[in-house]
Structure 1
Amino acid sequence: MSYRSALSYVLSSTVEPCAEQTGASGRFPRASVAALAEAGLLGLTVSPHLGGGGLGLVEAADVVTQVSRACPATGAVLRSHYAAVACVEAYGTPWLRRRIAEGHHLSTLALTDDGGDDGGPSGVAPPAGSTATRTGDVVALRARKRDVVGAGEADSYVWSSRPDDGSDRPVLWLVPADAPRLFVPARPDGAGPRGSCTSTVCADPVLVPASARLGRKGGRRDDVLGTVLEWLATLPATGPALAERVGAEALT
């Protein structure tokens, strides 16, 4: 079955029927996300060698566009997931990539710092608030991220911070949602579509292995931020999704 056929079925059978209730109740569109996972659409861009669809940015943008028309909340969740997966696909482990391909893992972006300042006309707080302190093979991440789509619902966060190695380029980390001292306020406080669970995520601090850093292959440091920016520039963006994009650009 082509991705378009799978998408058409999921839209008509689940996403569209659930959209009104999602918007009215403000609850996470769990049934719609589960249906997308079962149809293989969460793993659309993962390598076919690991069970994914093997497709790219153009197809992902098509899926996000159609899903967003039916249910803005589900579209916002899917958009952030695809942008995060682009990093995981390039730099993550085969085990995690296979989990995504099988529909068992939802990821999202945590890029925009809440520094207690609106950061100027863009409304994006300055990136100086996120810190990464390395001790041996353990890194302590401390930050307060705002406008995180799927906060408290995703299985992992692609998390930005100041560099941990004295360089001048911000870095990204893969932070598991069940990491100790990672928490989400009880009530969503972001500006995302109702039901997208757009909220603040806090690390106070969160300890991750140094290997959780994304963007290193064979000792070489790749432009992982460039990967995020490419996807965010192409995937349809409104509201906090646009803030994610501007927030990522502010890190460069």
Structure 2
Amino acid sequence: MSYRNAFSRVLSDVIAPRAERTGREGSFPRGAVTALGEAGLLGLTVSADLGGGGRGPAEAAEVVARIAGSCPVTAAVLQSHYAAVAVIEACGSAWVRGEIAAGRHLSSLALADGAYGAAGATATRSGEVVALSARKREVVAAGEADSYVWSSSPLAAADGLTLWLVPAHAPDLFVPARPDGAGPHGSATSTVVADPVLVPADAMLGEDGAGHEVVRRTVLPWLLALRDAVGAAAVHPSVAAAESAPSARAGAAQLSAVAPAATALR
């Protein structure tokens, strides 16, 4: 069965019938996410060599746009997932990519730090363990995803940004009991706090200090492609927050909610 046929079945049988209730009750669309995983849609953009669909942003945007017409909540979750997977595909391990391809892993972006102008996320290494401290805002699927693509200051580089894959179940990672983000009701868009969270040093995505380039070359193009496909009604909160912020008026503004990256993109 082609991914389009599988997707159409999930959309008509699972997502659309539950959309009104999901929005009304503000419940996370776990059933939709599970069905998308089983149909191969969570792994749509993972390499075919690892069992994924091997598709790109155009196909992902098509899927998100069609979902947005029925359930903006599920569309917002999938937007963040596909953008996060783009980073994982470029920099992550074969194991986690295989888990995504198998439909067992939902990821999300955790790139925006605290309030505007607040201190950014930090990273401190001790042996093979890194302590990440941060207050991340506007995280879609907070407490529901399996991992977060996370940004911090570099470990050793003089400047820049470093990206990490942080397991959502890691100890000392906290999500408020009630979502406090700007995403669609039910998308579990909220703050995620690391106080700190400990991750292995090999959880780094790419090179230390090279996260700006990953944001510019990977995250931003994916978010913009997905945003353009669905329109303003289902825009990713990282983009929406940026567009209302003062820093949004300089260079690649749509992702300037990620303050350090926005500076580099000006």
**Same fold, TM-score > 0.5, yes or no:** yes
- 1:24 partner SS: helix
2-structure distance, mates of 1:142, 1:94 = 27
The normalised TM-score by structure 2 is 0.86
**Given the alignment of the two structures, is residue 246 of structure 1 paired with residue 256 of structure 2, yes or no?**
yes
**Given the alignment of the two structures, is residue 69 of structure 1 paired with residue 60 of structure 2, yes or no?**
no
2-structure distance, mates of 1:190, 1:221 = 28
Q: Which has the higher helix share?
A: 2
The answer for the alignment partner of 1:173 in structure 2 is 164
Identity %: 61
Answer yes or no: is the 8 Å Cα contact 1:126–1:250 preserved in 2: no
2-structure distance, mates of 1:220, 1:202 = 22
Unmatched tracts of structure 1, length 5 or more = 116-124
Q: 1:127 Cα shift?
A: 6.7
The answer for the alignment partner of 1:39 in structure 2 is 39
Q: 1:251 Cα shift?
A: 5.6
The answer for the alignment partner of 1:183 in structure 2 is 174
1:46-68 Cα shifts (integer Å, max 9, x gaps): 01111100000111111111111
- 2:144 partner SS: coil
Answer yes or no: is the 8 Å Cα contact 2:73–2:184 preserved in 1: yes
- 2:53 partner SS: coil
2-structure distance, mates of 1:247, 1:113 = 8
**Given the alignment of the two structures, is residue 30 of structure 1 paired with residue 69 of structure 2, yes or no?**
no
2-structure distance, mates of 1:133, 1:200 = 21
2-structure distance, mates of 1:144, 1:23 = 27
For residue 139 of structure 1, the aligned residue among 123, 130, 137 is 130
- 2:108 partner SS: strand
The answer for the alignment partner of 1:225 in structure 2 is 215
The answer for the alignment partner of 1:118 in structure 2 is none
- 1:150 partner SS: coil
The answer for the alignment partner of 1:120 in structure 2 is none
Q: 1:88 Cα shift?
A: 0.8
1:191-227 Cα shifts (integer Å, max 9, x gaps): 11111000100000011111111113xx995732231
2-structure distance, mates of 1:234, 1:204 = 34
The normalised TM-score by structure 1 is 0.90
Q: How many residues align?
A: 241
